[in-house]
Structure 1
Amino acid sequence: MTGDRRLALAASPTEAAQAAATELRARYEWVPIEQANMVVALGGDGFLLHTLHAMLDRHRNLPVFGMNLGTVGFLMNDWRPDFLENRLERAKTFSVAPLRMEAVTVDGETIACAAINEVSLLRETRQTARLEVAVDGSIVLPELVCDGVLVATPAGSTAYNLSAQGPILPLDSSMIALTPISPFRPRRWRGAILPDRTRITFRVLDPVKRPVSAVADQREVRDVATVEVAIDRSNPLTLLFDPEHALDDRITREQFAI
Protein backbone atom coordinates (compact mmCIF):
# COMPACT_ATOMS: atom_id res chain seq x y z
CA MET A 1 0.00 0.00 0.00
CA THR A 2 1.17 3.51 -0.74
CA GLY A 3 2.21 6.03 1.88
CA ASP A 4 1.53 5.20 5.49
CA ARG A 5 -1.72 3.38 4.78
CA ARG A 6 -1.98 0.30 7.00
CA LEU A 7 -5.05 -1.78 6.21
CA ALA A 8 -7.00 -4.21 8.35
CA LEU A 9 -9.48 -6.60 6.78
CA ALA A 10 -12.84 -7.45 8.37
CA ALA A 11 -15.26 -9.91 6.77
CA SER A 12 -18.75 -11.19 7.51
CA PRO A 13 -18.94 -14.93 8.29
CA THR A 14 -21.00 -15.53 5.13
CA GLU A 15 -19.55 -17.79 2.44
CA ALA A 16 -19.35 -14.99 -0.14
CA ALA A 17 -17.57 -12.57 2.22
CA GLN A 18 -15.11 -15.22 3.39
CA ALA A 19 -14.24 -16.16 -0.20
CA ALA A 20 -13.69 -12.50 -1.03
CA ALA A 21 -11.49 -12.07 2.05
CA THR A 22 -9.33 -15.03 0.97
CA GLU A 23 -8.83 -13.40 -2.43
CA LEU A 24 -7.91 -10.03 -0.98
CA ARG A 25 -5.48 -11.53 1.54
CA ALA A 26 -3.61 -13.16 -1.34
CA ARG A 27 -3.38 -9.93 -3.32
CA TYR A 28 -2.68 -7.20 -0.75
CA GLU A 29 -0.82 -6.62 2.49
CA TRP A 30 -2.80 -6.46 5.74
CA VAL A 31 -2.07 -5.74 9.39
CA PRO A 32 -3.98 -6.55 12.62
CA ILE A 33 -6.63 -3.98 13.42
CA GLU A 34 -4.59 -2.81 16.43
CA GLN A 35 -1.88 -1.63 13.98
CA ALA A 36 -4.17 -0.33 11.23
CA ASN A 37 -5.20 3.19 10.31
CA MET A 38 -7.94 2.09 7.90
CA VAL A 39 -10.36 -0.85 7.65
CA VAL A 40 -11.80 -2.65 4.63
CA ALA A 41 -15.08 -4.37 5.56
CA LEU A 42 -16.66 -7.11 3.44
CA GLY A 43 -20.35 -7.91 3.90
CA GLY A 44 -23.64 -6.07 3.98
CA ASP A 45 -24.99 -3.02 5.78
CA GLY A 46 -25.52 -5.00 8.99
CA PHE A 47 -21.89 -6.13 9.05
CA LEU A 48 -20.69 -2.57 8.42
CA LEU A 49 -22.72 -1.39 11.42
CA HIS A 50 -21.20 -4.25 13.45
CA THR A 51 -17.70 -3.12 12.40
CA LEU A 52 -18.38 0.51 13.33
CA HIS A 53 -19.83 -0.49 16.71
CA ALA A 54 -16.78 -2.63 17.43
CA MET A 55 -14.58 0.41 16.88
CA LEU A 56 -16.76 2.55 19.12
CA ASP A 57 -16.38 -0.08 21.82
CA ARG A 58 -12.60 0.07 21.41
CA HIS A 59 -12.60 3.91 21.34
CA ARG A 60 -10.55 3.67 18.14
CA ASN A 61 -12.53 5.04 15.22
CA LEU A 62 -10.74 4.22 11.97
CA PRO A 63 -12.01 5.12 8.47
CA VAL A 64 -13.95 2.20 6.95
CA PHE A 65 -14.24 1.30 3.27
CA GLY A 66 -17.04 -1.23 2.86
CA MET A 67 -17.53 -3.54 -0.13
CA ASN A 68 -20.92 -5.12 -0.63
CA LEU A 69 -21.18 -8.88 -0.33
CA GLY A 70 -24.59 -8.76 1.34
CA THR A 71 -28.09 -7.95 0.10
CA VAL A 72 -28.86 -4.23 -0.11
CA GLY A 73 -25.48 -2.68 0.61
CA PHE A 74 -26.79 0.87 0.88
CA LEU A 75 -23.78 1.93 2.95
CA MET A 76 -21.31 -0.13 0.89
CA ASN A 77 -19.23 0.24 -2.24
CA ASP A 78 -19.35 -2.30 -5.06
CA TRP A 79 -17.32 -5.49 -4.63
CA ARG A 80 -14.33 -5.24 -6.96
CA PRO A 81 -11.00 -6.81 -5.94
CA ASP A 82 -8.91 -4.97 -8.53
CA PHE A 83 -7.07 -1.66 -8.01
CA LEU A 84 -7.93 -1.42 -4.32
CA GLU A 85 -5.05 0.98 -3.63
CA ASN A 86 -6.32 3.39 -6.29
CA ARG A 87 -9.89 3.22 -4.99
CA LEU A 88 -8.78 4.03 -1.46
CA GLU A 89 -6.65 6.90 -2.73
CA ARG A 90 -9.63 8.42 -4.56
CA ALA A 91 -12.30 7.64 -1.95
CA LYS A 92 -14.54 10.41 -0.62
CA THR A 93 -14.96 10.67 3.14
CA PHE A 94 -18.22 11.03 5.02
CA SER A 95 -18.34 11.73 8.74
CA VAL A 96 -21.12 10.15 10.82
CA ALA A 97 -21.98 11.43 14.29
CA PRO A 98 -23.76 8.58 16.10
CA LEU A 99 -26.68 8.89 18.47
CA ARG A 100 -26.14 8.23 22.16
CA MET A 101 -28.96 6.46 23.97
CA GLU A 102 -29.11 6.53 27.76
CA ALA A 103 -31.81 4.21 29.05
CA VAL A 104 -32.94 3.75 32.64
CA THR A 105 -34.76 0.48 33.33
CA VAL A 106 -37.66 -0.03 35.71
CA ASP A 107 -35.12 -1.59 38.13
CA GLY A 108 -33.09 1.63 38.12
CA GLU A 109 -30.17 0.41 35.98
CA THR A 110 -28.68 2.99 33.58
CA ILE A 111 -27.38 1.66 30.25
CA ALA A 112 -25.74 3.78 27.53
CA CYS A 113 -25.41 2.65 23.90
CA ALA A 114 -24.42 4.23 20.59
CA ALA A 115 -26.55 4.05 17.44
CA ILE A 116 -25.40 4.87 13.91
CA ASN A 117 -28.79 4.37 12.21
CA GLU A 118 -31.51 4.79 14.82
CA VAL A 119 -32.74 4.38 18.37
CA SER A 120 -36.13 2.65 18.56
CA LEU A 121 -38.58 2.21 21.42
CA LEU A 122 -40.78 -0.84 20.86
CA ARG A 123 -43.67 -2.43 22.74
CA GLU A 124 -42.76 -5.80 24.26
CA THR A 125 -46.29 -7.29 24.43
CA ARG A 126 -49.49 -7.22 22.44
CA GLN A 127 -50.53 -4.03 24.25
CA THR A 128 -49.59 -0.68 22.75
CA ALA A 129 -46.93 1.47 24.37
CA ARG A 130 -47.88 4.71 26.12
CA LEU A 131 -45.06 7.27 25.97
CA GLU A 132 -44.48 10.85 27.01
CA VAL A 133 -42.20 12.70 24.58
CA ALA A 134 -40.11 15.74 25.56
CA VAL A 135 -37.81 17.86 23.38
CA ASP A 136 -35.04 19.76 25.14
CA GLY A 137 -36.86 19.36 28.44
CA SER A 138 -40.28 20.53 27.21
CA ILE A 139 -43.10 18.00 26.88
CA VAL A 140 -44.37 18.05 23.29
CA LEU A 141 -46.55 14.91 23.44
CA PRO A 142 -48.08 14.15 26.85
CA GLU A 143 -49.24 10.75 25.58
CA LEU A 144 -48.18 8.93 22.42
CA VAL A 145 -50.02 5.60 22.05
CA CYS A 146 -48.22 3.47 19.50
CA ASP A 147 -46.33 0.29 18.67
CA GLY A 148 -43.17 2.34 19.07
CA VAL A 149 -41.19 5.41 18.05
CA LEU A 150 -37.70 5.97 16.67
CA VAL A 151 -35.03 8.63 16.28
CA ALA A 152 -32.99 8.34 13.07
CA THR A 153 -29.81 9.99 11.80
CA PRO A 154 -29.55 11.12 8.15
CA ALA A 155 -27.42 8.03 7.42
CA GLY A 156 -30.10 5.82 8.96
CA SER A 157 -33.12 7.66 7.58
CA THR A 158 -33.43 5.24 4.63
CA ALA A 159 -33.48 2.17 6.88
CA TYR A 160 -36.12 1.38 9.57
CA ASN A 161 -37.17 5.03 9.58
CA LEU A 162 -38.22 4.90 5.93
CA SER A 163 -40.11 1.63 6.49
CA ALA A 164 -42.06 3.41 9.24
CA GLN A 165 -43.01 6.16 6.75
CA GLY A 166 -40.40 8.57 8.13
CA PRO A 167 -38.66 11.23 6.02
CA ILE A 168 -35.43 10.73 4.07
CA LEU A 169 -32.89 13.26 5.38
CA PRO A 170 -30.06 14.67 3.23
CA LEU A 171 -26.69 13.93 4.80
CA ASP A 172 -25.78 17.60 5.20
CA SER A 173 -29.17 18.56 6.69
CA SER A 174 -27.97 18.64 10.34
CA MET A 175 -31.35 17.17 11.27
CA ILE A 176 -32.72 14.03 12.91
CA ALA A 177 -36.06 12.32 12.33
CA LEU A 178 -38.53 11.54 15.11
CA THR A 179 -40.92 8.97 13.64
CA PRO A 180 -43.81 7.06 15.25
CA ILE A 181 -44.34 3.36 14.52
CA SER A 182 -48.03 2.53 13.97
CA PRO A 183 -49.34 5.47 16.04
CA PHE A 184 -52.86 5.13 17.44
CA ARG A 185 -53.10 8.44 19.31
CA PRO A 186 -52.64 11.25 18.32
CA ARG A 187 -54.01 9.76 15.10
CA ARG A 188 -52.79 12.52 12.82
CA TRP A 189 -49.26 12.88 14.19
CA ARG A 190 -46.75 11.56 11.69
CA GLY A 191 -43.50 12.62 13.31
CA ALA A 192 -41.11 15.56 13.30
CA ILE A 193 -37.82 16.69 11.80
CA LEU A 194 -35.62 18.28 14.46
CA PRO A 195 -32.20 19.98 14.59
CA ASP A 196 -29.47 17.47 15.41
CA ARG A 197 -28.55 19.44 18.54
CA THR A 198 -31.93 18.40 20.01
CA ARG A 199 -32.17 16.18 23.09
CA ILE A 200 -35.23 13.89 23.03
CA THR A 201 -36.53 12.21 26.19
CA PHE A 202 -39.10 9.41 26.30
CA ARG A 203 -40.90 8.39 29.49
CA VAL A 204 -42.85 5.13 29.56
CA LEU A 205 -46.18 5.94 31.20
CA ASP A 206 -47.12 2.40 32.19
CA PRO A 207 -43.85 0.40 32.19
CA VAL A 208 -45.15 -2.58 34.17
CA LYS A 209 -48.44 -3.26 32.37
CA ARG A 210 -47.17 -2.05 28.98
CA PRO A 211 -43.42 -2.83 28.93
CA VAL A 212 -41.17 -1.19 26.34
CA SER A 213 -37.71 -2.04 25.06
CA ALA A 214 -35.16 0.40 23.64
CA VAL A 215 -32.96 -0.65 20.72
CA ALA A 216 -29.81 1.21 19.60
CA ASP A 217 -29.22 -0.28 16.14
CA GLN A 218 -29.08 -3.99 17.10
CA ARG A 219 -28.53 -3.56 20.86
CA GLU A 220 -31.65 -4.00 22.98
CA VAL A 221 -32.40 -2.86 26.52
CA ARG A 222 -35.64 -4.33 27.87
CA ASP A 223 -38.14 -2.91 30.35
CA VAL A 224 -37.10 0.72 30.14
CA ALA A 225 -38.63 3.53 32.20
CA THR A 226 -36.97 6.52 30.50
CA VAL A 227 -34.78 6.93 27.43
CA GLU A 228 -32.78 9.99 26.42
CA VAL A 229 -31.40 10.34 22.89
CA ALA A 230 -29.00 12.93 21.48
CA ILE A 231 -26.22 13.17 18.89
CA ASP A 232 -22.80 12.33 20.33
CA ARG A 233 -20.28 14.62 18.63
CA SER A 234 -17.39 13.25 20.68
CA ASN A 235 -17.33 9.99 18.67
CA PRO A 236 -17.35 10.80 14.93
CA LEU A 237 -17.06 7.87 12.52
CA THR A 238 -15.66 8.04 8.98
CA LEU A 239 -16.97 6.09 6.00
CA LEU A 240 -15.15 5.96 2.66
CA PHE A 241 -16.94 5.84 -0.69
CA ASP A 242 -15.98 5.57 -4.33
CA PRO A 243 -16.55 9.00 -5.93
CA GLU A 244 -19.17 7.57 -8.30
CA HIS A 245 -21.09 5.92 -5.43
CA ALA A 246 -21.16 8.66 -2.79
CA LEU A 247 -23.75 8.14 -0.05
CA ASP A 248 -25.30 11.59 -0.48
CA ASP A 249 -26.04 10.80 -4.14
CA ARG A 250 -27.68 7.52 -3.13
CA ILE A 251 -29.90 9.25 -0.60
CA THR A 252 -30.95 11.85 -3.18
CA ARG A 253 -31.93 9.10 -5.65
CA GLU A 254 -33.81 7.21 -2.93
CA GLN A 255 -36.23 10.14 -2.57
CA PHE A 256 -37.43 9.52 -6.12
CA ALA A 257 -37.68 5.74 -5.90
CA ILE A 258 -41.14 4.33 -6.52
Structure 2
Amino acid sequence: MTAAADRPTALLASDTEAAQEAEAELRRHYAFVPLKEAEQIIALGGDGFMLHALHEMLRSGRILPVFGMNLGTVGFLMNEWQIDGLRERVNVAKAFKVAPLRMEAVTIRGDRVDHPAINEVSLLRETRQTAWIEISVNGRVVLPQLVCDGVLVATPAGSTAYNLSAQGPILPLGSNLVALTPISPFRPRRWHGALIPDEFSIVFRAIDPSKRPVSAVADQREVREIERVTVCVDRTQELTLLFDPDHALDERITMEQFAV
Protein backbone atom coordinates (compact mmCIF):
# COMPACT_ATOMS: atom_id res chain seq x y z
CA MET A 1 0.00 0.00 0.00
CA THR A 2 1.41 3.38 -1.00
CA ALA A 3 0.61 6.85 0.29
CA ALA A 4 -2.02 8.81 -1.65
CA ALA A 5 0.43 11.71 -1.97
CA ASP A 6 3.80 12.88 -0.65
CA ARG A 7 2.04 15.00 1.99
CA PRO A 8 -0.11 13.36 4.71
CA THR A 9 -3.56 13.07 3.14
CA ALA A 10 -7.01 12.46 4.60
CA LEU A 11 -9.89 10.88 2.69
CA LEU A 12 -13.47 12.12 2.98
CA ALA A 13 -16.52 10.75 1.19
CA SER A 14 -20.18 11.65 0.91
CA ASP A 15 -22.75 9.17 2.18
CA THR A 16 -23.93 8.12 -1.30
CA GLU A 17 -23.45 4.50 -2.31
CA ALA A 18 -21.08 5.38 -5.16
CA ALA A 19 -18.86 7.54 -2.94
CA GLN A 20 -18.79 4.95 -0.16
CA GLU A 21 -17.76 2.21 -2.59
CA ALA A 22 -15.05 4.45 -4.04
CA GLU A 23 -13.76 5.25 -0.57
CA ALA A 24 -13.46 1.55 0.29
CA GLU A 25 -11.62 0.89 -2.97
CA LEU A 26 -9.16 3.72 -2.40
CA ARG A 27 -8.43 2.59 1.15
CA ARG A 28 -7.50 -0.85 -0.19
CA HIS A 29 -4.89 0.70 -2.49
CA TYR A 30 -3.59 3.76 -0.62
CA ALA A 31 -2.66 4.81 2.89
CA PHE A 32 -4.46 7.79 4.42
CA VAL A 33 -4.12 9.59 7.74
CA PRO A 34 -6.81 10.89 10.14
CA LEU A 35 -8.09 14.36 9.30
CA LYS A 36 -6.40 15.93 12.33
CA GLU A 37 -2.99 14.74 11.03
CA ALA A 38 -3.54 15.67 7.38
CA GLU A 39 -1.96 18.43 5.32
CA GLN A 40 -4.41 17.97 2.44
CA ILE A 41 -7.70 16.21 1.68
CA ILE A 42 -9.14 14.02 -1.03
CA ALA A 43 -12.92 14.42 -1.21
CA LEU A 44 -15.24 11.95 -2.96
CA GLY A 45 -18.72 13.08 -3.98
CA GLY A 46 -20.36 15.84 -5.96
CA ASP A 47 -20.26 19.62 -5.84
CA GLY A 48 -22.63 19.66 -2.86
CA PHE A 49 -20.28 17.50 -0.83
CA MET A 50 -17.31 19.64 -1.84
CA LEU A 51 -19.11 22.76 -0.63
CA HIS A 52 -19.98 20.95 2.60
CA ALA A 53 -16.34 19.99 3.16
CA LEU A 54 -15.14 23.53 2.45
CA HIS A 55 -17.69 25.01 4.84
CA GLU A 56 -16.65 22.57 7.56
CA MET A 57 -13.08 23.82 7.18
CA LEU A 58 -14.22 27.44 7.37
CA ARG A 59 -16.13 26.66 10.56
CA SER A 60 -13.20 24.80 12.16
CA GLY A 61 -10.60 27.35 11.09
CA ARG A 62 -8.30 24.57 9.84
CA ILE A 63 -8.14 25.09 6.08
CA LEU A 64 -6.40 22.46 3.93
CA PRO A 65 -6.00 22.02 0.15
CA VAL A 66 -8.69 19.73 -1.32
CA PHE A 67 -8.49 17.44 -4.36
CA GLY A 68 -12.02 16.34 -5.22
CA MET A 69 -13.06 13.40 -7.38
CA ASN A 70 -16.52 13.35 -8.86
CA LEU A 71 -18.94 10.67 -7.68
CA GLY A 72 -21.93 12.98 -8.05
CA THR A 73 -23.83 14.53 -10.95
CA VAL A 74 -22.21 17.70 -12.33
CA GLY A 75 -18.89 17.76 -10.50
CA PHE A 76 -17.86 21.23 -11.63
CA LEU A 77 -15.59 21.61 -8.60
CA MET A 78 -14.27 18.06 -8.89
CA ASN A 79 -11.74 16.05 -10.89
CA GLU A 80 -12.52 12.89 -12.79
CA TRP A 81 -12.84 9.74 -10.68
CA GLN A 82 -9.90 7.38 -11.22
CA ILE A 83 -8.30 4.93 -8.86
CA ASP A 84 -4.96 4.59 -10.66
CA GLY A 85 -2.14 7.09 -10.37
CA LEU A 86 -3.68 9.04 -7.52
CA ARG A 87 -0.40 9.94 -5.88
CA GLU A 88 1.03 11.33 -9.11
CA ARG A 89 -2.17 13.27 -9.85
CA VAL A 90 -2.28 14.93 -6.45
CA ASN A 91 1.44 15.76 -6.47
CA VAL A 92 1.23 17.61 -9.81
CA ALA A 93 -2.23 19.13 -9.25
CA LYS A 94 -2.73 22.80 -10.04
CA ALA A 95 -3.81 24.87 -7.04
CA PHE A 96 -6.48 27.55 -7.19
CA LYS A 97 -7.26 30.03 -4.41
CA VAL A 98 -10.93 30.74 -3.80
CA ALA A 99 -11.88 33.59 -1.47
CA PRO A 100 -15.33 33.16 0.11
CA LEU A 101 -17.89 35.87 0.65
CA ARG A 102 -18.81 37.00 4.14
CA MET A 103 -22.50 37.71 4.72
CA GLU A 104 -23.46 39.84 7.72
CA ALA A 105 -27.23 39.93 8.13
CA VAL A 106 -29.40 41.95 10.51
CA THR A 107 -33.00 40.78 10.96
CA ILE A 108 -36.03 42.95 11.61
CA ARG A 109 -35.83 41.76 15.26
CA GLY A 110 -32.28 43.06 15.54
CA ASP A 111 -30.52 39.66 15.45
CA ARG A 112 -27.10 39.64 13.79
CA VAL A 113 -25.95 36.57 11.85
CA ASP A 114 -22.68 35.98 9.97
CA HIS A 115 -22.19 33.22 7.40
CA PRO A 116 -19.53 32.52 4.74
CA ALA A 117 -20.49 31.70 1.14
CA ILE A 118 -18.27 30.04 -1.46
CA ASN A 119 -20.67 30.33 -4.41
CA GLU A 120 -23.08 33.15 -3.71
CA VAL A 121 -25.15 35.20 -1.28
CA SER A 122 -28.73 35.58 -2.48
CA LEU A 123 -31.65 37.64 -1.24
CA LEU A 124 -35.07 36.16 -2.01
CA ARG A 125 -38.65 37.25 -1.43
CA GLU A 126 -40.41 35.13 1.18
CA THR A 127 -44.00 35.64 0.00
CA ARG A 128 -45.87 36.36 -3.22
CA GLN A 129 -45.14 40.05 -2.71
CA THR A 130 -42.16 41.25 -4.76
CA ALA A 131 -39.11 42.29 -2.78
CA TRP A 132 -38.16 45.96 -2.65
CA ILE A 133 -34.42 46.26 -2.09
CA GLU A 134 -32.08 49.23 -1.86
CA ILE A 135 -28.51 48.51 -3.01
CA SER A 136 -25.39 50.39 -1.91
CA VAL A 137 -21.81 49.84 -3.06
CA ASN A 138 -18.97 51.17 -0.91
CA GLY A 139 -21.34 53.44 0.99
CA ARG A 140 -23.04 54.89 -2.09
CA VAL A 141 -26.65 54.09 -2.95
CA VAL A 142 -26.52 52.82 -6.54
CA LEU A 143 -30.11 51.53 -6.78
CA PRO A 144 -32.67 53.23 -4.51
CA GLN A 145 -35.28 50.56 -5.25
CA LEU A 146 -34.92 47.22 -7.03
CA VAL A 147 -38.33 45.53 -7.43
CA CYS A 148 -37.62 41.85 -7.96
CA ASP A 149 -37.88 38.26 -6.82
CA GLY A 150 -34.38 38.66 -5.44
CA VAL A 151 -30.75 39.59 -6.08
CA LEU A 152 -27.44 37.79 -5.59
CA VAL A 153 -23.70 38.32 -5.28
CA ALA A 154 -21.55 35.56 -6.83
CA THR A 155 -17.86 34.77 -6.66
CA PRO A 156 -15.97 33.71 -9.81
CA ALA A 157 -16.08 30.10 -8.58
CA GLY A 158 -19.84 30.40 -8.07
CA SER A 159 -20.58 32.43 -11.19
CA THR A 160 -21.44 29.29 -13.21
CA ALA A 161 -24.03 28.14 -10.66
CA TYR A 162 -27.17 30.03 -9.53
CA ASN A 163 -25.74 33.26 -10.95
CA LEU A 164 -25.58 31.81 -14.47
CA SER A 165 -29.15 30.46 -14.16
CA ALA A 166 -30.25 34.01 -13.32
CA GLN A 167 -28.60 35.27 -16.54
CA GLY A 168 -25.57 36.61 -14.69
CA PRO A 169 -22.07 36.79 -16.22
CA ILE A 170 -19.39 34.12 -15.95
CA LEU A 171 -16.35 35.55 -14.14
CA PRO A 172 -12.84 34.21 -14.82
CA LEU A 173 -10.80 33.26 -11.79
CA GLY A 174 -8.39 36.05 -10.93
CA SER A 175 -10.72 38.71 -12.31
CA ASN A 176 -10.96 40.34 -8.84
CA LEU A 177 -14.67 40.87 -9.45
CA VAL A 178 -17.98 39.68 -8.05
CA ALA A 179 -21.22 39.53 -10.00
CA LEU A 180 -24.22 41.50 -8.74
CA THR A 181 -27.20 39.89 -10.50
CA PRO A 182 -30.95 40.52 -10.15
CA ILE A 183 -33.38 37.61 -10.01
CA SER A 184 -36.53 38.20 -12.09
CA PRO A 185 -36.30 42.02 -11.88
CA PHE A 186 -39.45 44.04 -12.50
CA ARG A 187 -38.04 47.55 -12.06
CA PRO A 188 -35.77 49.02 -13.22
CA ARG A 189 -36.53 46.94 -16.30
CA ARG A 190 -33.29 47.60 -18.13
CA TRP A 191 -30.94 46.84 -15.24
CA HIS A 192 -29.31 43.45 -15.76
CA GLY A 193 -26.73 43.56 -13.00
CA ALA A 194 -23.20 44.83 -12.49
CA LEU A 195 -19.60 43.76 -12.04
CA ILE A 196 -18.16 44.97 -8.75
CA PRO A 197 -14.47 45.08 -7.69
CA ASP A 198 -14.07 42.44 -5.00
CA GLU A 199 -12.53 44.86 -2.51
CA PHE A 200 -15.83 46.77 -2.35
CA SER A 201 -18.61 46.01 0.12
CA ILE A 202 -22.23 45.66 -1.00
CA VAL A 203 -25.14 46.50 1.29
CA PHE A 204 -28.74 45.44 0.67
CA ARG A 205 -31.56 47.06 2.63
CA ALA A 206 -35.03 45.55 2.56
CA ILE A 207 -37.64 48.27 2.00
CA ASP A 208 -40.82 47.68 4.02
CA PRO A 209 -39.60 44.25 5.26
CA SER A 210 -42.70 43.63 7.41
CA LYS A 211 -44.99 43.74 4.38
CA ARG A 212 -42.42 42.40 1.91
CA PRO A 213 -40.22 39.97 3.90
CA VAL A 214 -36.88 38.97 2.42
CA SER A 215 -34.57 36.08 3.31
CA ALA A 216 -30.80 35.96 2.81
CA VAL A 217 -29.04 32.74 1.85
CA ALA A 218 -25.27 32.16 2.05
CA ASP A 219 -24.85 29.07 -0.14
CA GLN A 220 -27.39 26.83 1.66
CA ARG A 221 -27.68 28.67 5.01
CA GLU A 222 -30.74 30.90 5.27
CA VAL A 223 -31.60 33.87 7.48
CA ARG A 224 -35.24 34.94 7.27
CA GLU A 225 -36.88 38.34 7.64
CA ILE A 226 -33.76 40.39 7.12
CA GLU A 227 -33.56 44.15 7.32
CA ARG A 228 -30.03 44.66 6.06
CA VAL A 229 -27.30 42.46 4.58
CA THR A 230 -23.66 43.37 4.03
CA VAL A 231 -21.57 41.24 1.64
CA CYS A 232 -17.81 41.42 1.12
CA VAL A 233 -15.00 39.11 0.03
CA ASP A 234 -13.11 37.57 2.97
CA ARG A 235 -9.49 37.05 1.93
CA THR A 236 -8.49 36.00 5.45
CA GLN A 237 -10.00 32.55 4.80
CA GLU A 238 -8.88 31.69 1.28
CA LEU A 239 -9.55 28.09 0.26
CA THR A 240 -7.32 25.99 -2.01
CA LEU A 241 -8.81 23.63 -4.61
CA LEU A 242 -6.53 21.18 -6.46
CA PHE A 243 -7.16 20.17 -10.08
CA ASP A 244 -5.58 18.01 -12.76
CA PRO A 245 -3.53 20.40 -14.93
CA ASP A 246 -5.35 19.41 -18.13
CA HIS A 247 -8.80 20.01 -16.65
CA ALA A 248 -8.31 22.88 -14.25
CA LEU A 249 -10.94 25.17 -12.78
CA ASP A 250 -9.94 28.31 -14.69
CA GLU A 251 -10.28 26.48 -18.01
CA ARG A 252 -13.65 25.03 -17.01
CA ILE A 253 -15.02 28.45 -16.11
CA THR A 254 -13.76 29.95 -19.37
CA MET A 255 -15.23 27.14 -21.47
CA GLU A 256 -18.64 27.50 -19.79
CA GLN A 257 -19.03 30.70 -21.83
CA PHE A 258 -19.21 28.55 -24.96
CA ALA A 259 -21.54 25.86 -23.60
CA VAL A 260 -24.80 25.48 -25.53
TM bin, normalised by shorter chain, reads over 0.9
CA displacement 1:66-103 (0-9 Å, x = unmatched)? 00000000110000011111001110000001000000
How far does residue 4 in structure 1 lie from its aligned partner after superposition?
5.5
Q: Map of 1:1-258 to 2, 5 A cutoff?
A: 1=3, 5-258=7-260
Number of matched pairs:
258
Q: Aligned partners of 1:98, 1:126: CA distance in 2, in Å? A: 31
**TM-score normalised to the size of structure 2?**
0.98
Secondary structure at the aligned position of 1:234 is classed as helix
RMSD: 1.0
Aligned mates of 1:190, 1:75 — CA distance in 2: 27
SS of equivalent residue, structure 1 residue 255: helix
Q: Structure 2: state its 5+ residue gaps.
A: none
2 CA distance for matches of 1:239 and 1:249? 14
Report the CA distance between 1:3 and its aligned residue.
7.5
- Quote how far apart the aligned CAs of 1:31 are: 1.5
| CA distance in structure 2 between the aligned counterparts of 1:35 and 1:218, rounded to whole angstroms | 29
Provide the rounded CA distance (Å) in 1 between the counterparts of 2:143 and 2:103: 20
Distance in 1, matches of 2:100 and 2:53, equals 14
Moved over 2 A (4+): 1-4
Q: Which amino acid aligns with 1:166?
A: G
Instruction: State the percentage of identical aligned residues.
Output: 68
- Cα offset for 1:128? 0.7
TM-score (norm 1): 0.98
